[in-house]
Amino acid sequence: MLDATNCYIQAESKIIAAIGVSSLIVVETPDALLISERGRSQDVRTVLDRLKLLSHATVQRHRTVHRSWGG
């Protein structure tokens, strides 16, 4: 980060560079990338609700599949 203040940045697989930004939340997962102003993280629920209304594939299937093995 260069000249980035009051930011939360988390990445699982990609390198994220932040330059000259402030008050951001950036979260990268295999399923999605979230970029938000720090004070608006509660709006994630609103975005998820909109995706559900559109029957978007990301709310239908999850990339991680849990299987029970054994007897």
Spell out the per-residue pLDDT of the chain, length 71, in tens. Answer: 899 999 999 999 999 999 999 999 999 988 888 999 999 988 988 988 888 888 877 766 666 666 677 55
41 domain residue, yes or no: yes
- Report how many domains make up the chain: 1
68 domain residue, yes or no: no
Q: Cβ contacts of residue 63 below 8 Å, gap of 6+?
A: 30, 31
**Model-level pTM?**
0.71
71 domain residue, yes or no: no
Phi-psi region of 10 (alpha: psi -120 to 50; beta: other; left: phi over 0): beta
Residues spanned by the domain of 38? 8-60
Strand partners, 28: 11, 33
